[in-house]
Amino acid sequence: MAPSKQDAAFFEDCCRGLLAFSEVQSMRGFLQHGCVSTLEHSLSVAWNSFALCRRLGLSVDERSLIRGALLHDFFLYDWHEKSCGPGAWPHGFTHPGAALQNASRLFQLTAREKNVIESHMWPLTLRKIPRCREAAVVCLVDKVCSIAETLRLRRPGAGYEPRWNSLIRSCLH
Ligand SMILES: [Fe+2]
Ligand SMILES: [Fe+2]
């Protein structure tokens, strides 16, 4: 969904405080799907969650939705390289907890932001249930974005060029 000027300005305002931290910027260095970095993926999930709520007229705490989505994969390692030793739970089960721990260490999080982060892999993480609209939306949009990123990258010569690319580019600078 292409952003209006006002929507883009609000989105950037919500992201600015988090993007000022080097730890958040370090997500550029970790690959999420194909050549999409974890920061690009997180910005994409944040934007699409926000745009979907606006489109549907859902009443949500938009700032918590965007900030929670931007931090939902704040686990800070390359999950392709990190091996889970014998008996350890795989990345899919553990990274929401790692992301919440990292985010809580750096930021004062609202209850909704915490729920967005910890429940985004539900139903994989059975007991971490989305308990607010913000978390339910991010849980859904994360799956759609992940599938879209993976499928898009399967096409020969395809790059990561979503329609809201210019907004994401401006957040990345
Ligand atoms: Fe995730
Ligand atoms: Fe994600």
List the end-to-end C-alpha distance of the chain, in Å, as a whole number: 21
Phi, psi (rounded to 5 degrees) for 102:
-65, -45
What is the DSSP track for 52-74? HHHHHT----HHHHHHHHHTTTT
Q: Please state, rounded to an integer, the average pLDDT across all residues of the chain.
A: 88
Cα 14 to middle of ligand 1, angstroms: 20
Domain architecture of the chain: domains with CATH: 12-76+90-172 (1.10.3210.10)
Kindly report, residue by residue over 119-172, the tens digit of the pLDDT: 999 999 989 999 999 999 999 999 999 998 888 765 555 544 555 566 777 777
pTM of the model: 0.90
Cα 62 to middle of ligand 2, angstroms: 18
Cα 120 to middle of ligand 1, angstroms: 6
Confidence of residue 67 (pLDDT cuts 50, 70, 90): very high
Cα 121 to middle of ligand 1, angstroms: 6
- Using the structure block, give the residue that is written with the tokens 């721990």: 101
Residue of 13 and 32 predicted with greater confidence = 13
> Quick one: which ligand is closest to 42's CA?
2
Checking phi first, is residue 57 left (phi over 0); if not, alpha (psi -120 to 50) or beta? Answer: left
